[in-house]
Amino acid sequence: MIHLVKLCVGAESVSDLEDWQKSRVFDRIARGLDPHPRHETRQMPKRAEELLDGGSLYWVIKGTILVRQRILEVNAHTDHHGKSYCELVFDGELVLTEPQGRKAFQGWRYLTPEDAPPDAPKGNSAKIPEDLGRALREAGVW
């Protein structure tokens, strides 16, 4: 098993990602299409089989991995201009992770299970707002 890590460009928070995906899902349902969230990327992962063996995409939001989604499908497509691209299809559940800082990069990268942040404890009522957590991490106190 292997994971992917990717920047969630334009999102300020996990809520932004969730809202964006929900709007896309509703649009797909209205058009009679499969409602699973998806993301298109130019490069096809060579290790797609390993991704489908329980792998997730870990989203980097504002320089920190905060959430992951299980990868259900990795599909190769060609657009109407003849350009190939990869469609990643996800489980609809956004799973919060323990925050893990990441420097900016382009595209996606493989992420080994050993290097992936653990899932955040479920039902943690003491969860602090993302912006406060980010400020504490940047200050090196959390």
- Give per-residue pLDDT as tens, 47-101: 999 999 999 999 999 999 999 999 999 999 999 999 999 999 999 999 999 999 9
Cα–Cα dist 129/45, whole Å: 34
pTM given for the model = 0.85
pLDDT above 50 for 140 = yes
Cα–Cα dist 99/140, whole Å: 13
